Structure 1
Amino acid sequence: MRDISSSLPLPGDANAQFFGLDFHKVIFPVSVMLIIATVATALNDPTAFGASLEATKGWILKHFDWFIMIMGNLFVLLCIGLAVSPLGKIRMGGADARPDFGLLSWFSMLFAAGMGVGLLYWGVAEPVAAYTAWWKTPFNVAANTPEAMHAAMGSTMFHWGLHPWAIYLSTALIVGYFSYNKGLPFSLSSALKPLIGEAYKGPIGHCVDVFTVVLTTFGLATSLGLGAMQATAGIHHVLGTPNNFLMQAVFILSVCGIAAVSVWRGMDAGVKLLSNINMGLALLLLIFAIFGVGVAVFLSGMISTSADYVSMFVPLANWIDRPDQDWFQGWTVFYWAWWCTWGPLVGVFVAKVSRGRTIRQMVTVVMLVPTLVAIVWFTAFGGGAIAQVAAGSGTLAGGLKDVNMAIFQFLEVLPMSAITSLLVVLLLVIFMVTSVDSGALVVDNLAAGGIPETPVPQRVLWVGLIALVTMVLFVIGGDSALKGVQAGAVAMGLPFMALMLVLMIGFVKALIQDARA
């Protein structure tokens, strides 16, 4: 791997160095204080805290659904527009920069950080939920019908296809361009420079970076907690072990312990190695599912899923006079806001591993390829699960009662279910490890004022802080505190989108100025 630090800024007067660590004097302490204050508030009265944030989230999803949907569509248009324009040939790091990672490792890392856990969690659950009207159906079609099957697969792909990756990619392009090509700090605030000049180094820029640190920390903590719930449910299902707070706490500590070792070993020996292993294991699980449902059925389903996605893309992207308002706000608008909680984490991480890639290459590999992978994944798992429901086969035929158990209930009907279920648990562990890895690296960079290479113990410190936040919320505060923080993180998706609109304007302005120079 090439040393990217030579093209990026070094620590400045705004940083404090002590005990071998290197923190920003403003961003780090303010971020930590806000994180601690939020956790303390959640623990003081978890029920009231959760209800308050749930109400805030509901109000935002209801009254700002139009803005959230417009921004989601705008992310897609921006990325595709840049790729097909002459600006698509711009290379992160300049014309002479070369990639730090091979194509497969690059894709494995960004995919593992982006939505690996989500595919395991919702790969079966979401299509079955939409098909059976577990919580409404897209377009209000009748549940358990052929129309519901097409609506379920089309809407699931809409939620996991181009849009989320466009949110991540927009963030990555902005951070990567201003850092690698302009020599500015490795943070979102750098994109403010074309709009406000050197003031980006002041309070406005600090607010942006503090916001992204807090958003990333809580988004990752809630995902880690939810992942623990699914993993321990799966272990209980297969091995009969207890499914309680103690097991969930052990899972969280184990994941963070492995993540700390991975972060300590570095990008090549840690994150890249685990990501490559995970892609191999995910491929193995996918092959099990394909042969389990039948290759011919799978291939036919892929064509159907792709057609459903294409045909429903525009209707699902529309926000005006939706007949399925409850489903639209509860699923699509929620998803767009939730992806934003991972926007800084995945976007900054993608930027970190994408030096030497052109904008056009990044759009192709970061946005289009994951969409194709999602089509394959949801066809095998979601389509296969819907077929089980329609045939009255297995536990899922009785309806979706526990999202955590959905993928295990799907697998129990197929051959070698004990082996594949344990494989799911192993994948959950490694996907969560790579997510914590990525999150710790990103939060550390942001809290250090955009320094690309920080001391290793400092990165491990952030792994510990993420573990502590998750443990305190999940073990002490319980489900109410965890879901309350998740609701709060989703509510923060609105200001993140507003921020991204401003940063996108600065980004495009800078690109055009460079093209004219």
Structure 2
Amino acid sequence: MSEKIIRSDKKTFLGIKANGPVFITSLLIIVALVSTTLIVGKPMEQWFADTQNYVSNKVGWFFILLVNALLIFALYLGFGKFSKIKIGGKDAKPEFSRMGWFAMLFSAGMGIGLLFWSVAEPIFHFNSNPFLKTPGADVFAAKTSMGITFLHWGVHAWALYAIVGVALAFFTFNKKLPLTIRSIFHPLLGDKIYGPIGDIIDIISVIATLFGLATSLGLGAQQINAGLEYLFHWENSDRIQVIIIVVVTVFATLSLILGLDKGIRKLSEWNMRLAIFLLVFMLLVGPTLFLCKSFIQNIGHYVGEFFELSFWTNTYNGVGKAKNWQSSWTVFYWAWWISWSPFVGIFIARISKGRTIKEFILGVMLVPTLLTMLWLTVFGGSAIFQELIGNHVITEAVNNNVATAIYHLLEQYPFTTFSSLLTVILVASFFVTSSDSGSFVVDTLTSGGRHDAPKGQKIFWASMEGLIAAILLIGGGLTALQTASILTAIPFAIILIVMCYSFYKSLTEYKEEPSLIDLAEPEKRKVEEKEAECILE
């Protein structure tokens, strides 16, 4: 790495370790957007709804094409000629165990959203979806509902994360560039990435990350509130949800201050333990044989219908209700994952040194996807089982308040209070890991790729995330959160396209440095000193 590139990352702004243009511009845009939502008030709800429908209908096809192209590119990276390249070079060793790595991947990549939708979404699709020709055809409805849910939470989302993550990891650890989105464009822009163009890229990334994260935090607050109402008869209101956001943000800040290893990693591992315990518990107390059989059939249906589901754009009957369905579901999900990709990508890049590209791609795409599908089968399948035996209480709950769905499901099985309390704790825990991971990433982006930003900056961005989630929740509810994700995903989608070309170009030109074992002692010391200098930067 050249001295010019090293020096360019030594940025301070008004006495803080930040890249001024990115920090201030991102902050001003965010403040303007959330202030408008707060000042305008109730009319913003209709604006959010109208905007979501308009944008989804106009660019939905583009999102669908993009996520499929990214999936193909991810498979090419994992199995093509670049698959053996190791992140960090030949001598790089993994910083975290595989279990710790998978735990942080899953907590950052899905977390709250999966808990929120794992019961409600299959029930929504069971009762109404564009593929359901005959109302009351329960068997077909059950298969299609799980197939659609698997589509939204399956390999497409994780392929998106994998590409952004592996590209960032490569440019950070192999090319010794700062851990920011702009670094991926170095093959195309050279040192211009440290100028206004690079600032714009990082500003878009910051805004996409904050609004994508706010969607999950808003969902988490709603679900925790629903659980507290169910268990302790607390009021279910915006006021309580704002208080929940404040409390959880405080805990997220504490985790963030403890650092990546002591805070985020340990909490992520506990998340996984709690999640697996709840999963096994539900599998045992629920319709166990039905769930085991349906898991196999769900995967078969998903694989069998994969191409039709993946490329379906609702072209021939895309008017009226069916068109709105795709805008509210598939298009929203693709936009949500795109807006989350800078956050998740930077985070998993930071924790993935020492993995080969093949291990990275397969690890990010395969393990979390299978675990996600198992989770959806156990919780969504248990809900559909109730529908098939004629118990419609969960459908009623979904229609009344989506956030309560999982608690009404647990009510149908033994040890309800215990499992509901465990669910509230798990949602809160995922809430904390999403918030602290997101703060870590935003702080990294706004400080020019630094890992040593002061605690005050971390607290500031954690507070901003909570504030955005609270205001959007008050100003427009779930629709506002969804619209924010879709709007911020559009500019970042363009960045993703250029990023893939830039990454491919860099891989074709990359020549792996010789292993330290193969070097003479003086040269070995020089390489080690240079790497230590880069890490300090």
TM range (shorter): over 0.9
Q: Mark the CA change 1:154 to 1:323 in structure 2 (over 3 Å): closer, same or farther.
A: farther
Describe the superposition over 1:490-514 as per-residue Cα deviations: whole angstroms up to 9, x where unpaired: 1221221111001100001111111
Paired residue secondary structure (1:23)? coil
Distance in 1 between residues matched to 2:181 and 2:213, nearest whole Å: 18
After superposing the two structures, state which structure 1 stretch, 387-396 or 66-75, moved more. Answer: 387-396
After superposing the two structures, state which structure 1 stretch, 183-192 or 319-328, moved more. Answer: 319-328
Distance in 2 between residues matched to 1:8 and 1:290, nearest whole Å: 57
8 A Cα contact 2:119 2:383, kept in partner: yes
CA displacement at 1:109 relative to structure 2: 0.7
Q: Mark the CA change 1:143 to 1:44 in structure 2 (over 3 Å): closer, same or farther.
A: farther
Describe the superposition over 1:442-501 as per-residue Cα deviations: whole angstroms up to 9, x where unpaired: 000000112233223321221122223333444xxx252674354032122122111100
8 A Cα contact 1:138 1:155, kept in partner: no
What's the TM-score, normalizing by structure 2?
Answer: 0.89
Q: Mark the CA change 1:469 to 1:398 in structure 2 (over 3 Å): closer, same or farther.
A: closer
Q: Mark the CA change 1:46 to 1:167 in structure 2 (over 3 Å): closer, same or farther.
A: farther
8 A Cα contact 2:87 2:170, kept in partner: yes
Paired residue secondary structure (2:12)? strand
Task: Identify the residue that residue 173 of structure 1 maps to in structure 2.
Answer: 166
Paired residue secondary structure (2:305)? helix
After superposing the two structures, state which structure 1 stretch, 484-493 or 392-401, moved more. Answer: 392-401
Distance in 1 between residues matched to 2:6 and 2:233, nearest whole Å: 52
Distance in 2 between residues matched to 1:498 and 1:104, nearest whole Å: 34
Q: Is there any run of 5+ residues in structure 2 with no aligned partner, and where? A: 514-537
Distance in 2 between residues matched to 1:398 and 1:215, nearest whole Å: 34
- Amino acid paired to 2:285: G
8 A Cα contact 1:97 1:356, kept in partner: yes
CA displacement at 1:249 relative to structure 2: 2.2
Task: Identify the residue that residue 361 of structure 2 maps to in structure 1.
Answer: 363
Fraction of identical pairs, as percent = 35
CA displacement at 1:399 relative to structure 2: 6.6
The answer to whether structure 1 residue 344 and structure 2 residue 337 are counterparts is no
* Aligned residue pair count: 505
CA displacement at 1:17 relative to structure 2: 5.1
Distance in 2 between residues matched to 1:38 and 1:320, nearest whole Å: 31
Distance in 2 between residues matched to 1:407 and 1:160, nearest whole Å: 17
Q: Mark the CA change 1:505 to 1:394 in structure 2 (over 3 Å): closer, same or farther.
A: same
Distance in 2 between residues matched to 1:466 and 1:171, nearest whole Å: 22
Task: Identify the residue that residue 391 of structure 2 maps to in structure 1.
Answer: 393
- Amino acid paired to 1:105: G
Task: Identify the residue that residue 251 of structure 1 maps to in structure 2.
Answer: 244
Runs of 4+ in 1 over 4 A off after TM superposition: 7-11, 320-324
- Amino acid paired to 1:72: V
Q: Mark the CA change 1:139 to 1:193 in structure 2 (over 3 Å): closer, same or farther.
A: farther
The answer to whether structure 1 residue 430 and structure 2 residue 429 are counterparts is yes
- Amino acid paired to 1:16: T
Q: Mark the CA change 1:443 to 1:140 in structure 2 (over 3 Å): closer, same or farther.
A: farther
Describe the superposition over 1:345-368 as per-residue Cα deviations: whole angstroms up to 9, x where unpaired: 111111111111111111121111
8 A Cα contact 1:138 1:324, kept in partner: no
Task: Identify the residue that residue 289 of structure 2 maps to in structure 1.
Answer: 296
- Amino acid paired to 2:394: L
Distance in 1 between residues matched to 2:390 and 2:178, nearest whole Å: 56
- Equivalent residue in structure 2 for 1:280, among 273, 278, 283: 273
Describe the superposition over 1:290-343 as per-residue Cα deviations: whole angstroms up to 9, x where unpaired: 012233222111111111110111111124564564233332122101111211
Describe the superposition over 1:263-307 as per-residue Cα deviations: whole angstroms up to 9, x where unpaired: 111111100111111111111110111012233222111111111
Distance in 1 between residues matched to 2:193 and 2:148, nearest whole Å: 39
Task: Identify the residue that residue 306 of structure 1 maps to in structure 2.
Answer: 299
- Amino acid paired to 2:149: T
The answer to whether structure 1 residue 121 and structure 2 residue 103 are counterparts is no
- Equivalent residue in structure 2 for 1:38, among 33, 45, 52: 33
Distance in 2 between residues matched to 1:388 and 1:260, nearest whole Å: 40
CA displacement at 1:116 relative to structure 2: 1.3
Distance in 2 between residues matched to 1:63 and 1:246, nearest whole Å: 35
CA displacement at 1:240 relative to structure 2: 1.3
The answer to whether structure 1 residue 452 and structure 2 residue 451 are counterparts is yes
- Equivalent residue in structure 2 for 1:75, among 70, 78, 86: 70
Distance in 1 between residues matched to 2:135 and 2:478, nearest whole Å: 34
Task: Identify the residue that residue 485 of structure 2 maps to in structure 1.
Answer: 489
Distance in 2 between residues matched to 1:179 and 1:255, nearest whole Å: 31
Q: Answer with 1 or 2: which has the greater Rg.
A: 2
CA displacement at 1:221 relative to structure 2: 2.1
- Equivalent residue in structure 2 for 1:232, among 225, 241, 257: 225
8 A Cα contact 2:249 2:462, kept in partner: yes
Task: Identify the residue that residue 4 of structure 1 maps to in structure 2.
Answer: none
After superposing the two structures, state which structure 1 stretch, 313-322 or 446-455, moved more. Answer: 313-322
Distance in 2 between residues matched to 1:290 and 1:137, nearest whole Å: 30
Task: Identify the residue that residue 497 of structure 2 maps to in structure 1.
Answer: 501
8 A Cα contact 1:49 1:481, kept in partner: no
Task: Identify the residue that residue 373 of structure 2 maps to in structure 1.
Answer: 375
The answer to whether structure 1 residue 15 and structure 2 residue 14 are counterparts is no
8 A Cα contact 2:264 2:436, kept in partner: yes
CA displacement at 1:250 relative to structure 2: 2.3
CA displacement at 1:10 relative to structure 2: 5.7
Distance in 1 between residues matched to 2:4 and 2:265, nearest whole Å: 22
Task: Identify the residue that residue 335 of structure 1 maps to in structure 2.
Answer: 333
- Amino acid paired to 2:87: M
CA displacement at 1:434 relative to structure 2: 0.1
Describe the superposition over 1:145-183 as per-residue Cα deviations: whole angstroms up to 9, x where unpaired: 211111011111111010011111111112111111111
Paired residue secondary structure (2:234)? coil
After superposing the two structures, state which structure 1 stretch, 322-331 or 186-195, moved more. Answer: 322-331
Describe the superposition over 1:95-142 as per-residue Cα deviations: whole angstroms up to 9, x where unpaired: 111111000011101110111111110111111110011xx3446554
Q: Is there any run of 5+ residues in structure 1 with no aligned partner, and where? A: 1-6
Distance in 1 between residues matched to 2:467 and 2:296, nearest whole Å: 45
Task: Identify the residue that residue 216 of structure 1 maps to in structure 2.
Answer: 209
Q: Mark the CA change 1:414 to 1:57 in structure 2 (over 3 Å): closer, same or farther.
A: same
Describe the superposition over 1:20-56 as per-residue Cα deviations: whole angstroms up to 9, x where unpaired: x301121101111111111111112133334334333
Distance in 1 between residues matched to 2:247 and 2:6, nearest whole Å: 34
After superposing the two structures, state which structure 1 stretch, 44-53 or 233-242, moved more. Answer: 44-53
